[in-house]
Amino acid sequence: MMKKHFKKTLASLLAVLTCVSSMSAFSAIAEDTAEDDAPVVGLGTIEAETLKGVDQVWTSIYATEVPGYSGEGFAYLTSSPISFKVEVEEEGMYQIDVRAVQILDEGGRQQTISINGIDYTYNMPYLDTWTDVSFGVFRLKAGVNEITLKPIYGYGAYDTITVQKAVLPTLTGDSVPCDPKATDETKALMKYLSSVYGKQILTGQQEIYGGGHGVQTSIRYDAQKDQCIDENGKVYTIIEGDYGEDDQGNKFPWHCTDETGIDYVYNTQNHVYGYNNYDQECNYLKELTGDYPAIRGFDLNCHNPGFGWEDGVTDRMIQWGKKNGIVTTSWHCTVPTSMDDFEIDEEGNITKISNDWQQFTYSEKTDFKPSNVLIEGTKENVFYNEAIRLAAVELKKLQDEGIPVIFRPLHEAEGNPGQNADGSGSWFWWGKEGAEVYKQLWKYLYDKLTNEYGLHNLIWEQNLYAWSDESALWYTGDDYVDIVGFDKYNTTYNRHDGNTTGPNEDAESKIFWSLVDYVDNKKLVSMPENDSIPSIENMVVEDAMWLYFCTWYDGESGAPQFISGTEYQNPETVKSIFQSEYAVTLSELPEDLYKWDGSTEETTPTETADDPTSPSEETTEPTTERQVGKSSGDVNCDGEVDVVDVLVLNKYLLGVAQLTPEGQQNADFNGSKKLEDADAMMILKAIVKLVDFPA
């Protein structure tokens, strides 16, 4: 999937050479330098049939001919792994491409590539002719790296394998919201996000929702004095017009507050007031790192048809925005577990609905049919319209306050995707009928909120989960999306950081660049949920500077502690991230963020030669040409030395081309007075800077 952005100039030219001559240029390097039976090569292309573990050279797959291979044949991955070693001068990101055929499975066949013992998977599509395929970009260390193709599912045919320095594009991402009527504040925030993207990462933290982090107090209601008072005699302010009545007919205020603004809520079981510490995670980060995150995550789950309750989430969103913070919200929209518990009349009025939250779910385990949402008058249509209306009421309050929202609805839709994007891997109801229905749901929601309810303070973030090849089929389209996101949950499995225990600080660069490619570099790429935060060093070295991360909240008793638990975070790493010049925290956001016009544009952190986390300065495609005027290697006498000269020399050695006397002299690279394969090899080595040109 990297073909749009990762150029193959050198690799493609080298592939031409291997087709012209049976000589594999980099196999020759292997013969020169291998210390064992695993070939050691430099950057470039190697014939797959020369790799360690290839027990036979294939020219057909059993009875099926596959003509067009280069070299003597190809490798067929069946029961044994095949491997080679590649030596690189510097640590960084490298692209691995193969020329392959896969005729076993029309639905695609999972291939496993291991880089220095760490496995990555790629679903190779059905290919009945030799096709260039990119496995993606991977981090290689300076020195020798072992690359292995594992036959976990296997049965792929490999003609050549190419390793080259990844030429990564400059990250852009559209700075203009997809909503043409976006508010000025939304435009300003979008412009700021775009200015930061690729240079720094915005820190973020999700707060708990659904009444979590409950704290019981000693505050009681004194009916005779009509006061809320605690055991120390402190009096709390009663929120007027909000009284309830218990089973004995005694009235009481539901809410009271104090000078700190905490909303204390009456508990009908123990008759005292308590509150939910929604600030727990952010306060932990402030104490640990010295600052709050730039982004705070919320959820609109509490505003739901049937069992909705008021937990103050909208007020907290507004308060955060007024602090100059960035607001993002997900929407765990719940539906009836059984549609028999929900009824409407002929005019579409709700006549029956449960007020028990346990009768609702956002999982796929419901008979709620997403496709019926799109049919006017169905029960699903009526219910979803009411859910949208309730969410719109809250979002409108933020718009009225001039606060834009990164809106992340209908997330993780594909779950573990099926090969046909049929929704079979989805764990949320909005994805269970597949990609096409899901995309219609997204467009329906977009139309209702923007056109019917006039909400233009939303930055639309589409957050799929696996971001496999099938996941791309779920993308709704550029006209409906501003940001694409990936949720990173990989501390306990699928590790790529080389460790077996502790927090997984992998930057997930392969997925990052896959997302960039999926949206053709037109949209910003974020990490809206994560367990372990990627380390700054990994993100910088791997060129995977996500727009923002947003660590999930600490669970209640026995549940994962995503931000404060040492299983998921190394506190010192978290501290170093928040204090890094590459990360943006709350106090580092521009003043008057929602009026930002670029005049205080952030600059890339200063790079120093001694800083191991300094990003690479290489932003342009490396040249394969030598300075004009030097004659050694200039076989075709055009004043330049490039791979064309190697091609011409190979043709001469095969007897299918002629050289001028000057060309023959220039081709004698090693000064042996005899033209041979070694001359072509040395010219090629000099072009890719493995050796120096003769003086």
Alpha carbons 520 and 8: distance in angstroms, whole number: 17
Location of structure tokens 């372990």 = 532
Q: What angle do CA 292, 296, 298 make, to 5 degrees?
A: 150
Dihedral (Cα; 665, 666, 670, 673), 10-degree rounding? -10
Going by the DSSP 8-state scheme, the letter that residue 74 receives in this structure is B
Our CA angle for 692, 694, 695, nearest 5°, is 110
Instruction: Quickly list DSSP for 526-577.
Output: EEEEESSPPPHHHHHHTT---SBEEEPPBPSTTS-BTTT-TTT--HHHHHHH
Nearest of 355, 323, 326 to residue 341 by alpha carbon = 355
Distance, CA of 464 to CA of 367 (rounded, Å):
23
CA dihedral 284, 285, 286, 287 (to 10 degrees): 50
pLDDT at 307: 84
With the C-alpha atoms ordered 573, 540, 141, 146, is the resulting torsion angle positive or negative?
Answer: positive
Strand intervals (E) in 585-643: none
CA 263 to chain centre: 37
Identify the CA nearest to 648 among candidates 99, 16, 8.
16
**SS3 call for 26:** helix
The one-letter amino acid at 642: D
User: Which is nearest to 369 in space by CA: 419, 440, 302?
Assistant: 440
Give the DSSP H or E segment for 677. Answer: helix 677-687
Q: For strand 92-102 and strand 326-331, is the pairing parallel, antiparallel, or unpaired?
A: unpaired
Rg of the chain, C-alpha, whole Å = 30
The pLDDT score that the predictor gives to residue 603 is: 41
C-alpha 119/C-alpha 99 separation (Å) is 20
CA angle 609, 612, 614 (to 5 degrees): 65
Task: Give strand ranges (E) for 262-306.
Answer: 263-266, 273-276, 295-299
Whether 132 contacts 85, CB under 8 Å: no
pLDDT of residue 685: 67
pLDDT, position 611? 39
CB 93 within 8 A of CB 137: yes
Which pLDDT score is estimated for 352?
Answer: 96
Which residues contact residue 86 at a Cβ distance below 8 angstroms, ignoring those fewer than 6 apart? 40, 41, 42, 43, 140, 144, 145, 147, 163
DSSP secondary structure letters along 212-232: -SEEE-S-EEETTTTEEE-TT
Q: What pLDDT is stored for residue 419 in this prediction?
A: 67
Mind giving me the DSSP string for 379-439?
HHHHHHHHHHHHHHHHHHHHHHTT--EEEEES-STTSS--TT--STT--BGGGTT-HHHHH
Q: Are 494 and 118 in contact (CB under 8 A)?
A: no
Q: What CA–CA distance (Å, rounded) separates 161 from 130?
A: 12
Alpha carbon distances (Å) from 54 to 80, 157, 631: 8, 11, 40
Using alpha carbons, select from 181, 124, 138 the residue that is nearest to residue 538.
Answer: 138
SS3 state at 597: coil
523, 478 contact by CB (below 8 A): yes
What is the DSSP code string of 154-220? Answer: ---EEEEEEEEE--PPPP---SS-SSTT--HHHHHHHHHHHHHTTT-EE-EEEPP-SS-SEEE-S-E
Contacts of 659 by beta carbon, 8 Å cutoff, 6+ apart:
635, 648, 649, 652, 667
- In order of 172, 592, 602, 603, 623, the CA distances from 599 in angstroms are 19, 11, 9, 11, 36
Ranges of residues in the chain whose predicted pLDDT is under 50? 1-35, 601-630, 656
Contact by Cβ (8 Å): 488, 495: no
Using DSSP's 3-state secondary structure scheme, residue 27 falls into helix
The Cα–Cα gap between 183 and 170 comes to: 28
- DSSP code at position 284: H
DSSP H helix total and E strand total for the chain = 13, 35
Q: Characterize the bridge pairing of strands 326-331 and 405-409.
A: parallel
Round to the nearest angstrom and report the end-to-end CA distance of the chain: 42
Containing H/E element for 28? helix 25-33
Contact 667, 674 (CB under 8 A): no
CB-CB contact of 294 with 588 (8 Å): yes
- Identify the sign of the CA torsion 239, 242, 243, 244: negative
Q: With contact defined as beta carbons under 8 Å apart, do 507 and 544 qualify?
A: yes
